[in-house]
Structure formats: C-alpha cells, structure tokens
Amino acid sequence: MKIICFKSKTTFSLLLAAGLLSFSCSKDKNIIEKPIQKEYTQHFEAIIAGKSIAVENTISKDRDVLSGQWTGIGLSDGSEKSLYNVLVRLPKGLLDNDLEPVLRFQVDNIKVGYFNITGVNDRYENLEGSHIVLSAWGKNGNGDDAIVYTANPDMKPFSLEITRYEYLSGSAIPIVGGKLSGVLYNEEDVRDSITIRNGVFEVRY
C-alpha cells in the first residue's frame, strides 16, 4: 500500500477543493431542467365583408380581443346542458365607419357537430339558444347609432360547425374549435348584409 503524504495543509486544501469542484460539476450535468411550457394561444380567422381578419391572444396578452365562456344550465329533470359563448373584437373601420364592431356567437347544448342558426327561435337577445350577432355601438353608448347584423328568418341559415370540444387531462375548462360561414343581415334594413367566409376559431378561456 502506497501512502501519500502532504507537506502542507495548503496543498491538501487545494486538492480537496478541486475534488469538491469536480464533484459539483459532475452533479450539475445530471440535472434535467423542466421545459418551459408555452402559453396556449387562441385564434380567430375569417374573411368578413371582403376583408381578411386574424385575431389571436393568450391569457396574459391582449386578453380582451378574443374570449370563450362555458356555462352550465341545470334543467328541471335534473340534467344539465352546456352553452358556449365566443366573443371577437374586430378591427375598427371594418364597417366603413368609425365604430368598433364585435362578433359574438353562442352554441346551445354544445357538442361536435353542425348548427344552423336561423334567427327564428334563437334570437341573440336570448340567454339560451344558438345565435350569432355582429354589432357596433356608437360613442354615446345608448344604442342610438348602433348597427346590428344577425341571422334573418327569411334567409338562408348561418352555418356553424363545432369541430373540437375537448377537456384536457386535469382541466375543467374545455378547448372549443370550429368553423363558421354565412350571411348576417342588418336588423333595420335587410338589403344591408355582411358575409363571413372561411371562418375558423379555437378558444379556451
């Protein structure tokens, strides 16, 4: 057996520190950093009145421009149905004036499938029912100069398709995605209409 003697405490201390440093470096290499989770991005895209519209946001950025809201309603027989509301703030000037339009649509008893919105029993003022409305309120806020476009009972129904209705593992908030297309008519003048084409969306909150 070979015994190594250190001539000074300083030499021993330096060797000990180097050993600890080497151990520390080797240990750090084994640390696995958790990947940073990217925020979920919601989106809405469509051609509205001939103009390409694209809106997106996250829960921490531009929160108010696009939102989805789930609501559960208890029925008299003890069962429950789900409503889902989507709100999209559209660019100012879309309607060729200085008003700020908002598109809002709701799906009653939401599930994956097709929904035809006729405007008959699904008026947008109702808390329940499937409906869609594109409205712009003036600066005074009292509705005198508001413009409202919605489905018209005498015209072809507005088409809305839900392509995704999914709860992720451990989450009580669904992800809702779909497509929409059709024509909305001015409540005051049916000759005035807005066409929405190639609409797609996906929202969560």
pLDDT confidence of residue 171 = 85
pLDDT confidence of residue 23 = 44
> pLDDT below 70 — which residues of the chain?
1-37, 96, 121-126, 138-144
pLDDT confidence of residue 14 = 46
pLDDT digit string, tens, across residues 38-77: 788 999 999 999 999 999 999 889 989 999 999 988 878 8
Alpha-carbon span 121 to 129, nearest angstrom: 8
CA atoms within 13 A on the CB side of 187: 15
Record the pTM.
Answer: 0.78
pLDDT confidence of residue 2 = 44
pLDDT confidence of residue 11 = 46
Single-letter code of the amino acid located at 122: D
| Domain chopping of the chain, boundaries | 42-203
pLDDT confidence of residue 116 = 94
pLDDT confidence of residue 33 = 59
pLDDT confidence of residue 125 = 61
pLDDT confidence of residue 20 = 43
pLDDT confidence of residue 31 = 60
Of 153, 68, 78, nearest in space to 107 by CA: 68
pLDDT confidence of residue 141 = 54
